[in-house]
């Protein structure tokens, strides 16, 4: 098998690629050093590690049978072309527990007013009892909160586990439900309005698909009156204009967001994350899509990806196969 590596290399990747190569003497791992070299190697590749391919590149890769995506999202791949070619896509869910950790951290920052208090204290401005403020003017605890998690996959499950330490009542919203129990969830439902109704904090941990895009939109944003939202799924799951309306019109109590709408490019490294002035509001915490990007998260994702490769070589099937019609 010829496996083309098309991802950011690290020492840990080098270590794990060597391991899988040592286990399989017939495995040849290909690297490239230019766009032209990549096109040449694509013609040879049976499999690819990476998450960004164009339709043109897939057309070049005549022998390609499987793509091992080293992260969870597959919305960056041309699904129709992959389905047409019957190319397997295997994603990596190993970093879910770290993404969930970031979601809890964002919640603490938002409800705890940590950046706000920090920035004020740098200017000598105090809050709390020492300047005569009342308790309701201070920060807010997440203990005993009613929480809804949209998405009960690896991120959602880890998030529920962490939040149980704060005695939260947890509702899980999922696409289909056959009565199964999921640990740490008090309620499971496929009814969106029911899931949102009593929540004080709503976490978004869904994949981006045709069905989940604009899950929260201008027609239903008022369901989120006086609620916090924390998005570690994908930006467009929340309609961009609806998010701004929710913040501007004081529908939302606050928002903590790690996933966005506008991202830097090689030609524009400095860029605001939305076309709306969301960044100007004090009840918004901004995070630059790093929930799954630290050393621990990368290691978990690499391990999962290598397990996908290993299973495919041994059994002809990866550990985790994506349904590209559903995109998860």
Q: At 309, which CATH number?
A: 3.40.50.720
User: How many domains is the chain built from?
Assistant: 2
Q: Does 29 map to a domain?
A: yes
The average pLDDT across 90-103 equals 96
Using an 8 Å Cβ cutoff, are 64 and 56 in contact? no
pLDDT in tens, 269-302: 999 999 999 999 999 999 999 999 999 999 999 9
Does residue 134 sit in the same domain as residue 23? no
Residue 56's pLDDT is 96
**Please, which pLDDT band fits residue 103 given cuts at 50, 70 and 90?**
very high
Does residue 54 sit in the same domain as residue 201? no
- Residue entry with tokens 């290909």: 30
**What proportion of the chain, given as a percentage, has pLDDT over 90?**
96
Both structure tokens of 233: 């799924």
Residue 110's pLDDT is 98
Does residue 144 sit in the same domain as residue 19? no
Residue 179's pLDDT is 87
pLDDT in tens, 105-154: 999 999 999 999 999 999 999 999 999 999 999 999 999 999 999 999 99
Does residue 100 sit in the same domain as residue 45? no
Does residue 111 sit in the same domain as residue 219? yes
Q: Does 328 map to a domain?
A: no
Residue 225's pLDDT is 98
d(C-alpha 214, C-alpha 229), whole Å? 14
Q: Does 323 map to a domain?
A: no
d(C-alpha 147, C-alpha 134), whole Å? 26
The average pLDDT across 55-84 equals 96
Q: Does 265 map to a domain?
A: yes
Does residue 155 sit in the same domain as residue 270? yes
Residue 249's pLDDT is 98
Residue 178's pLDDT is 87
Does residue 200 sit in the same domain as residue 153? yes
SS3 string, the chain, reads CEEEECCCCCHHHHHHHHHHHHHCCCCEEECCCCHHHHHHHHCCCCEEECCCCCHHHHHHCCCCCEEECCCCCCCCCCHHHHHHHCCEEECCCCCHHHHHHHHHHHHHHHHCCHHHHHHHHHCCCCCCHHHCCCHHHCCCCCCCCEEEEECCCHHHHHHHHHHHCCCCEEEEECCCCCCCCCCCCCEEECCHHHHHHCCCEEEECCCCCCCCCCCECCCCHHHHCCCEEEECCCHHHECHHHHHHHHHCCCCCEEEECCCCCCCECCECCCCCCCCCHHHCCCEEECCCCCCCCHHHHHHHHHHHHHHHHHHHHHCCCCCECCCCCCC
Does residue 85 sit in the same domain as residue 124? no
Domain residues for the domain of 310 are 2-94+295-315
Q: What is the pTM of this model?
A: 0.92
Does residue 190 sit in the same domain as residue 117? yes
Q: Does 104 map to a domain?
A: yes
Model confidence at 85: pLDDT above 90: yes
Across 74-78, 206-210, 240-244, which has the greatest mean pLDDT? 240-244
pLDDT in tens, 140-163: 999 999 999 999 999 999 999 999
Across the chain, mean pLDDT equals 97
């Amino acid at each position: 098998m010829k496996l083309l590596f098309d991802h950011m290399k690290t020492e840990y990747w080098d270590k794990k690629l060597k391991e899988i190569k040592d286990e399989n003497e017939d495995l040849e791992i290909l690297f490239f050093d230019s766009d032209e070299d990549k096109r040449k190697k694509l013609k040879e590749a049976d499999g690819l590690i990476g998450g960004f391919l164009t339709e043109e590149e897939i057309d070049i890769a005549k022998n390609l049978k499987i793509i091992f995506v080293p992260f969870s999202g597959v919305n960056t791949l041309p699904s129709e072309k992959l389905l047409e070619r019957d190319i397997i896509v295997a994603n990596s869910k190993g970093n879910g527990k770290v993404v969930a950790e970031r979601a809890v951290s964002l919640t603490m920052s938002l409800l705890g007013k940590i950046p706000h208090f920090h920035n004020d204290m740098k200017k000598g401005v105090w809050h709390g009892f020492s300047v005569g403020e009342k308790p309701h003017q201070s920060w807010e605890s997440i203990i005993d909160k009613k929480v809804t998690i949209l998405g009960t996959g690896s991120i959602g499950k880890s998030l529920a586990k962490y939040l149980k330490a704060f005695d939260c009542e947890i509702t899980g919203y999922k696409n289909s439900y056959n009565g199964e129990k999921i640990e740490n969830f008090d309620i499971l439902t496929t009814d969106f309005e029911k899931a949102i109704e009593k929540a004080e904090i709503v976490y978004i941990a869904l994949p981006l698909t045709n069905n989940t895009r604009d899950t929260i939109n201008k027609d239903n944003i008022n369901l989120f009156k006086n609620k916090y939202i924390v998005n570690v799924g994908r930006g467009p799951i929340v309609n961009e204009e609806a998010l701004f309306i929710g913040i501007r019109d004081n529908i939302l109590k606050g928002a903590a967001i790690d996933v966005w709408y506008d991202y830097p490019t090689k030609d524009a490294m400095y860029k605001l994350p939305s076309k709306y002035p969301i960044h100007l509001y004090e009840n918004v915490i901004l995070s630059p899509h790093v929930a799954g990007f630290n050393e621990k998260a990368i290691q978990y994702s690499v391990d999962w990806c290598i397990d996908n490769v290993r299973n495919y070589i041994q059994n002809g099937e990866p550990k985790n196969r994506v349904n590209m019609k559903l995109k998860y």
